[in-house]
Structure 1
């Protein structure tokens, strides 16, 4: 009898059942952030997205991510190159995305769909508005009935032509497109200047939408985290051997994250630290210390986080050796079962 009553309540929507791959039940932004917990950015620069490209990712990699102690994958999506002249996304590409979403959900991972065409968007705000609304007009309804573990991120790192005023005028239009089919799904939004923590104060989030999670990225000090990186300014590219770990440097992280927490509390918006990492050419011991310090600082303040990134560079998984980059994994998740060889 009790079982029949519970089943009836679920049908009426009065009792939330498990969030399966084929059903959506609302969850608060705060609870979503808690569930996201520890995460990692995946797939963006992998050959998987190329037409006919198999890529490196397999089902077992999602299992490895979950088994290592991560709860979330932030899927880096370069959608614009896969749109035709009418801004229709290739069905082949969309089916590839379906596989990523389905596989992540199969392994009980939260899935952030991160629209990552920030370079194109930041060159031309008008083109960005057209293409970005077209992207979400197609992706949002495609996943409207999926589990609440699927979270949308409107655009990674707006900057340049997307200054605060322009971004505050543009993102509500894109959000309205999403809300047409996903009125209660949680959506991630960050400020300008590459999702700088300093621009959260300029972000004009709608008071009547409580299903929003604010994000920021953290690569400070930039001369340490990006030393030797070919895409950095020449004076940063030329750096090598720069270390990190003084008391003053650690205190700066606390000060920076305290400021984000103060904004979060004042505005009643939960926080995702969407990207952070130190490039592979920085001294490994300092990378470990920095990664541990940033991760613990985020967790202490209740921020969810997604490390940049699983593969390509800043890596926590080494495809060449088919194994974890154990020093970096240990800095992220000190108690990870993968470090002790457990399955």
Structure 2
């Protein structure tokens, strides 16, 4: 399944967004994505929104929203794309894990039941980037409980398991128990060096000071990436669990040459390791497609889908 997922892209700033900043969804984007050579899409979803589900027992997810998600899943499958749906930006769960656990499990019970008869090209991801009060220790229990709920109706569906502390490589040591389940893939997010990938990002305090940070694709820069993934590779081998890179990308305020070098190296290196991956994202601040002009950022598209691994650059 991890090989089938291959190269993917996130439909970001869409179904995980609040109404004030939600981008419209265009099902024809899946045709474009497939034509570019991608083989899966990851669709982040905020089920917690007030207009989508009940905040008190029985925590019912609105049927109309289920139909919306179904139409997205169907559109992906119709374009021969695998599709990952997750739980994203569940802020109440992060702030009050104990108080929100029943809702978290109830929602997974409903999602699992709704999609139980779908083909295995539909993949579930338990939760995006656990953090705040949903500590690493709690996460070890929460993901196992959620997996048990999913397995009641989807015994063989592939499920992506993320890690605590915002989902990065540094938190792998806290993933103390990997369930004995042959249909799990470990998913990791990667945005390092953060001062490069998030320079000028409006939602990151102080990021304007990082403007102008470059990534030159030197041996030292490559080695920093390689070093950060050694624990993940060791865990993958010891637990026989494949790896999916659920998010990686550099924000549009970085210079395009550096973005291309970073994206190209990571894409090819991930593939050399046997990782599947999903670039963040399709058509917003990190995107490879401009929905207003209906044009591609061709250099980034090539970096993801066509460019070969370049010879390492010498230190300037």
Query: Which TM-score applies when normalising by structure 2?
Result: 0.90
Other structure's SS at 2:86 match: strand
Of 292, 311, 316, which residue of structure 1 is paired with 2:264?
292
Structure 1: gaps (5+ residues): 1-31, 337-343
Query: How many Å apart are 1:55 and its aligned residue?
Result: 5.8
CA–CA distance in structure 1, aligned partners of residues 130 and 237 of structure 2: 24
Query: How many Å apart are 1:242 and its aligned residue?
Result: 0.8
CA–CA distance in structure 2, aligned partners of residues 208 and 46 of structure 1: 32
CA–CA distance in structure 1, aligned partners of residues 130 and 285 of structure 2: 22
CA–CA distance in structure 2, aligned partners of residues 57 and 160 of structure 1: 30
Alpha carbon RMSD of aligned pairs, Å? 2.2
Does 2:150 align with 1:178? yes
Other structure's SS at 1:306 match: strand
Of 59, 68, 72, which residue of structure 2 is paired with 1:100?
72
CA–CA distance in structure 2, aligned partners of residues 207 and 171 of structure 1: 9
Greater mean deviation of Cα atoms: 251-260 or 135-144: 251-260
Does 2:221 align with 1:249? yes
Q: Which runs of 4+ in 1 moved over 6 A?
A: none
Name the CA shift for 1:302/1:117 in 2 (closer, same or farther; >3 Å).
same
Contact 1:253 1:297 in 2 (8 A): no
1:6-45 superposed matches below 5 A: 32-45=1-14
Number of aligned positions between the proteins: 303
Other structure's SS at 2:35 match: helix
Query: How many Å apart are 1:318 and its aligned residue?
Result: 0.8
Structure 2: gaps (5+ residues): 309-316
Query: Which TM-score applies when normalising by structure 1?
Result: 0.83
Contact 2:15 2:22 in 1 (8 A): no
Other structure's SS at 1:200 match: helix
Contact 2:14 2:23 in 1 (8 A): no
Query: How many Å apart are 1:323 and its aligned residue?
Result: 2.4
CA–CA distance in structure 1, aligned partners of residues 195 and 83 of structure 2: 31
CA–CA distance in structure 1, aligned partners of residues 22 and 220 of structure 2: 46
CA–CA distance in structure 1, aligned partners of residues 12 and 64 of structure 2: 16
Of 125, 131, 146, which residue of structure 2 is paired with 1:159?
131
